[in-house]
Each structure stands twice: as structure tokens, then as C-alpha cells.
Structure 1
């Protein structure tokens, strides 16, 4: 049965190109992950705040090396696109920003991010999210980006607001964390916002 609408983005929209490096213009760089990032990612996941808002733990640098290999390969599969957020001058890892749950047909994806403990309060997540959002919506042609965070994660709510993601509502008891089910705020940006 044929569809009555055309796909928003064709298969190959991402995979036929090299994953770009995206400068923020204010000292940050979004770049593809490298194998040598594994120790810094492992260190970031030892922070108790990461355990509070993420369902994944990092037991070893080798395990994180596997994640990075997976993140690097995901570009070709067009389901997830992940970037390391680094300081332009030093190359120091400050966080991660990603498009998850990519649906090219519908032109939609979910925005995700985290920052290292030392980078919190510097606006890293918001700055990286703004740049990735503009790239996805304006350059690539996505129609809608969603951003979910636990209702109790007020810092993530501030990031969403600063990055221009409007609060659309609350998904009740939507995500299981180690401390139980969390209600999640749903924010979104659409092309033209």
C-alpha cells in the first residue's frame, strides 16, 4: 500500500556523507568520537550525577571503547549520530551531544546530551545543543527534534529552554532509572522555530 506523503529525508541522507565537525564559534567543537576518548568517557561516567540521570554505567575503559566503536558505526546505520564536545584550544572532552531515535522518513530525532563534572555550569550542553539543532533542522532538513529529561532534572530543563526547545508536556512514568520510574518532560523544536 503506497504512502500518501513522501519521506522528509531520504535513506542515505547521513550515511552518504562523512560525519561533520561542527564548531560552536565560542570555544567548543562537536567532533566524531575517537577511540582515544575512552578514558575520558569512562572518567565522566564515574560521577554520581551521571548515575542519577542515566541508566548506563561504565565499568571499564575497555567497555567504553566498545561504546565508542558503536557510536562511530552508528552514523552509517542512520539511527543515531553522536558527537564528542571538546574545548577547541585544549581538546579536553567536556561532554556529548547526540541525535537518537532518528526517523528519516518522518524527519524526526531525539536530542540527547551530557557534560563532564568539570564542565557543568559553563553552558556547554546548551551551546552544543543549539549548534547541533541548527545543523539538523537547517542544514540537513529534519522537521522535528524532541528532547526528554526527567522532570526532577532541573539543569536539563534549563538546557532545553536555553536551546530553544519548547516544553510540550509531561510523559508520566516514562523512563526507568535505578531509583524507579521517572516522569519525563517533553520539549521540542521544529523547523522554522
Structure 2
């Protein structure tokens, strides 16, 4: 047996040994849970930077967001989540053109998204659980090159801290999600990414 095969078998054995220990002594979560959350988002890449142009230059900046979800727990490990999110942003701009007066201002924009996510809880202790999620959905909101309805893919991770022994499903949810936006176009898709930080309550 080669060294790499021995490593692979050892890794598999560790996973099969550790996963049951992680779930040992933990109760099956309630089938249906609800959550509300808020936080702050950070744009990544060119789309969320300052765009210098001959006349109108502008910038798109994300700030606060609010959301809610319903989660159906298939087991202690696997769940399905329906998630709604409202993302707020600002669009500061300047206007300079020969023969025209200088002007500047700040417009507002928003992105509303609806997602279906799969959630995997890999480590569940008495008061803490760690999870990963991923999924996709649709967006509405007009900004930069994104108009009307477009799509998104999401991936993230977080931790839930259970804060009440009398209410075993009440938890503080802290996490981060990368959102990848896709605007289909016959001449080439427009894409953008941002990072969403969140803190909320699950019950």
C-alpha cells in the first residue's frame, strides 16, 4: 500500500470516528426553525469600486442588510433553508463636463434576494454548533449593470450558540456568506461578488 493510500484511509477513518463523537449526546433539532438577522456587507472587486469616467463618475457601496429564513431540519446534520434578504446600498457620484456646472450627490439602491440553501451541521456540541451552507436564488434591484431579475449563488459558514436551557432551539447565529451575482447577457454575463456578515436569532 502506498503512502498516499494510507493517508487517505487514515483521513477517512478519522472522519468516521469524529463525526459520531460530534453528534454524541445531542438531541435531534426541532423539524422547523425560524431565524431573523441583520448585519453589514462588503463589496468585492471592480463593480463596488470608484468608476472614473469623462463626465459622470460614481461608486457603489453596500452597507446594512436585513433578512429572515425558515429552515426544515431533515436530520441533526442536513437541513433545507428558504432565505429572504434586503440589502441596502449607496451610490455617490460626481458630474464634470466642459461648459456644464459641477454637480455631485448620493443616490440609494437596494438588492432583494430569495434563496434556497442546503445546510450541513458538521459539529454539534451541547451549546454550540458549526455549519456550512450553499445554494442559489434570484435577485431584484437596479444598480451598475444589474437590472430587473438576475441570479445568485451563495456559500458560507457560521456558528450557532444556544443561549437557553429552557428553550433548546433558541440560538445566537453568527456567520458570513459570499454572494456571487450573475446577470445573464447574450454578449457575456455580468458578475459581481460581495461578502455578507450577519448576526441574528434562531428560534
Q: TM-score scaled by structure 2?
A: 0.32
Question: Is the radius of gyration larger for structure 1 or structure 2?
Answer: 2
* Between structures 1 and 2, the one with greater helix share: 1
* Between structures 1 and 2, the one with greater strand share: 2
Q: TM-score scaled by structure 1?
A: 0.33
